[in-house]
Amino acid sequence: MHYKSLNQIAPSVSFEEAVVFGLAPDKGLYFPEEIKSLPISFFEKIETLSNVEIAFETIKQFVGNEIPEDDLKQILTETLNFDFPLSKIEENIFSLELYHGPTMAFKDVGARFMARCLAYFNKKNPSQKNTILVATSGDTGGAVASGFLGVSNVEVVILYPSGKVSDIQERQLTTLGQNITALEVDGVFDDCQDMVKKAFLDDDLAHKNLTSANSINVARWLPQMFYFFFAYKELKKHNKPLIISVPSGNFGNICAGILAKKIGLPIQHFVASTNENDTVPRFMTNGVYSPQPSKATLSNAMDVGNPSNFIRIQELYQHDLSAFKNDFSSYRFSDEETIAIMKKIHAEFNYIAEPHGAVGYLGLKKELTNNPNCIGVFLETAHPIKFSDIVESTLDLKLPIPKQIKSVINKEKKSIKIKSYDDLKDFLN
């Protein structure tokens, strides 16, 4: 498998090179040169397969022969060693809970898969050292820190916006030590992401072998396809068209879902549910992609004004907006609507949704009004405890603390404060 740059200038690279480089030299995101549909027989027997077997069949074309099958299966076994349960909320509406991993966020899968791929490649080249440079708006930092903790020859540097992530999210990325360093940025997520992208293209930092563990990296992005196959496996028996609503910030997760559809997964429609950061909903209305500075909201992991992965989605539809609209809708919801629906879901269905999942539910309900004969899934991307201040005050309850959170809640936070790209460059050098 080879990967091209979506800026069309840099040469194609292997899967390994795409993982190690992260971003192409021409600033483009890597994208597979060829996408093959899975055989119909795979979907006919999917309910008999384990999650690891499903993941292997899904991902193997994108890895090619660069990781032997037995090693790839072992990587997937280690990556997927927790559950992905579907909870029925109401008739024909389910929550797919993606927060049962070590950091209680959906990004655990991508971070663990990428860490193990990089460790495999480094084992082949023991003199090779890498610096993972990643920006986070919430959960990416903790997932990457956990996934790469202790990986040989890999240093991890995480940039996060000061005061704009929850206390638990911050502790998950600032308390681990070892090969993990957290840089606290005076700014918003887009500032962090811009610094990371600039560093990748800075010749003065070439000796650091920088790569990203954001969803711009193919090894972080591609395994997110698995969730959608797992949901279909469980809901196939209902024999109804499937609509999936994804709370969306940087659009990597929903982009992976669309790729899953492109290789044959029978999903009728996707909904990208956003908060006030509505670049994509506006695009769907007027056809103009006009990013704006991100705004702080209760669903902070979605506070992204210029989502990196949207260009991959456009590529999957050859930039044909009309074809795109057949498969995809995007809706914006306010903090007030988010709070109101969190209360309603808890009161009527005894289910605790955190702000991101609540936005996903809102988008699903809106789409199902046009498709009442479908079955719907919204993604719950993080455990409610990660937003305990909002959840507990909104629902007037006290959340029990899961064991994954107890392990970091009382540890000392250690971060380095920076204000500019020059500060980042000085640190890396």
Contact 316, 258 (CB under 8 A): yes
Q: Say whether 185 sits in a helix, a strand or coil.
A: strand
Q: 192 is written with which tokens?
A: 């962090």
Which residue type occupies 122?
Answer: N
Identify the H or E element spanning 211. strand 210-211
Contact 224, 252 (CB under 8 A): yes
Beta bridge partners of 158: 134, 182
Name the active-site residue from 27, 36, 107, 419.
107
**CA–CA dist 229, 51 (Å, integer):** 9
**Could you give the C-alpha distances from 217 to 29, 155, 359, 365, in angstroms and in order?**
8, 16, 26, 32
Place of tokens 């009442």: 372
Q: 375 is written with which tokens?
A: 């079955």
Contact 19, 121 (CB under 8 A): yes
> Does residue 107 carry a catalytic annotation?
yes
**CA–CA dist 177, 299 (Å, integer):** 27
What amino acid positions are annotated as catalytic residues? 107
